[in-house]
Amino acid sequence: MSSGLDALRCYGDDSSDEEEDIDDAKVIKADTCKGNGATSNNIKSSSPLPSVPLEVLGMFKDKEEDATTHSNPTLHDGRVRSFQHVRGNWATFAFIQVEPTEVLQHIMDELITMLLPSVGDLKPVDDLHISISRTVTLQFHWIEPFAQSLKDALIVPAFSYEFEDVEFYSNDEKTRSFIGLRVSRHASDQFKCAVQCVDKCLQDFSLPIYYKNPSFHVSFAWCLGDYQQLLDSTSLQQIKDYFKKFIQDTPLVARASEVQCKIGNKMFSFGLR
């Protein structure tokens, strides 16, 4: 009876999130059984080990299905991940939240309405923000040190900024396009100061810094595909002209008072000084 219990104990620990632990558990099982005084020959000649409980198999099945879910475009409005989902890696990026005021929401809704005839499947962005870092990955044990490093590095005072133009962007893979409002060139210098602080922190953790010549903007709608193949130059110019006329009468002013950093499902906020 004791040998059967010892063999059952040899199966892996369910506290780990890594699928590779299945193989590790097999090694541990063999070593542990030998440590109880049995030889490899004895193990082969003895009765078969008990089968793995269904509950244990179910745990690893759930993890495999979860990894597939993360990478399945049909479950994310057709969006494709820019990098492969890896367990233990936490997607991380820093940004400045944009408050959707009544005026800002109005102009965004108007621009979306103008685009719908050309881009029928245009979806609004729920979380309005201006990125000040790339999306990088952190290991779990780096989360707290990274957050503390970012807090210490951010010595930028709070500032106001304006949106001066409407721009169109696409991701590197050309699988998604975005419509956004670009920050004024004057305010870009203040955003660059925030980026420099974040970049310093990223470099300390050997992570890639932000783009060399960033276009600071808030994306408020997106669609699948490359916008250059969806919109002709006339439509683009009409949208730009409409926006320019709108801000002449109603400037779109916002304020940056804190930097936020999302690490996986954790959110950190750092007030600007």
**Which residue numbers are catalytic?**
129, 217
CB atoms within 10 A of CB 219: 22
Residue 234 tokens, joined: 């006339």
Please enumerate in sequence order all residues whose Cβ is within 8 A of that of 85, keeping only pairs 6 or more positions apart, or say none.
67, 70, 71
Question: Is the CB of residue 14 less than 8 Å from the CB of residue 52?
Answer: no
- Give the separation between CA 102 and CA 252, rounded to whole angstroms: 11
Question: Is the CB of residue 102 less than 8 Å from the CB of residue 59?
Answer: no
How deeply is 162 buried, as exposed, middle or buried, from its count of CB atoms within 10 A (0-12, 13-18, 19+)?
A: middle
Helix axes 102-115, 233-249, angle to 10 degrees: 160
Give, for 162, the enclosing helix (H) or strand (E): strand 159-170
- Where in 3-135 does DSSP place strands (E)? 89-97, 123-124, 129-131
Please identify which residue in the block is written with the tokens 């989360």: 143
| CA atoms 139, 142, 148, 151: torsion sign | negative
Question: Is the CB of residue 150 less than 8 Å from the CB of residue 94?
Answer: yes
